[in-house]
Amino acid sequence: MLEADTASADLGIEVLRARNGQAVARMRVTGRMVNGHAIAHGGYLFTLADTAFACACNSHGPVTVAAGAEISFVASALLDDELTAVAEERTTFGRNGIYDVTVYRDTPRGRDVVAEFRGRSRTIAESTDSRSTA
């Protein structure tokens, strides 16, 4: 799945780990990602969190997609910040799942949380070879 994800690749998102319902992804805020307030555009933060979410919920094997997601912006991300998104499965039920993603930057004082994301997943097929969508 990740090999075909040109959107994440074009943003420089690197997935460091994805297994057992968890994933870690990283991205540096570039000049193209900064808005008119000189902070990272929220859409890029969402994309980083969404990539970690996608990798976590697909780490079990079956094809799984987002059924919905929301994000809360906690602090501004700035030019050249290296952001890390940590996704963790909270629960699964039937073909559904709930995942939380924390986006943060490391500072000399420790981790500075930038955003909190909650994603809802839906498994749609047994494997990438299957074309079922129900």
pLDDT of residue 134 exceeding 50: no
Residue 126 — pLDDT band, cuts 50, 70, 90?
confident
Nearest-5° Cα angle at 8, 85 to 16: 45
What's the pLDDT tens digit per position in 23-59?
999 999 999 999 999 999 999 999 999 999 999 999 9
Q: Which amino acid is at 80?
A: D
Torsion over CA of 53, 23, 63 and 13, rounded to 10 degrees?
70
Average pLDDT, the chain: 92
Model confidence at 128, in pLDDT bands (50, 70, 90)?
low
CA 82 to each of CA 39, 54, 87, 91: distance values in angstroms, whole numbers, following the listed order = 13, 20, 17, 29
pLDDT band at 84 (very low <50, low <70, confident <90, very high): very high
Confidence band, pLDDT 50/70/90 cuts, at residue 127: low
Task: Please state the pTM of the whole predicted model.
Answer: 0.90
SS3 of 53-115: HHHHHHCCCCEEEEEEEEEEECCCCCCCCEEEEEEEEEEEECCEEEEEEEEEEEECCEEEEEE
| 16-27: pLDDT as tens digits | 999 999 999 999
- Token reading at 55: 């990798």
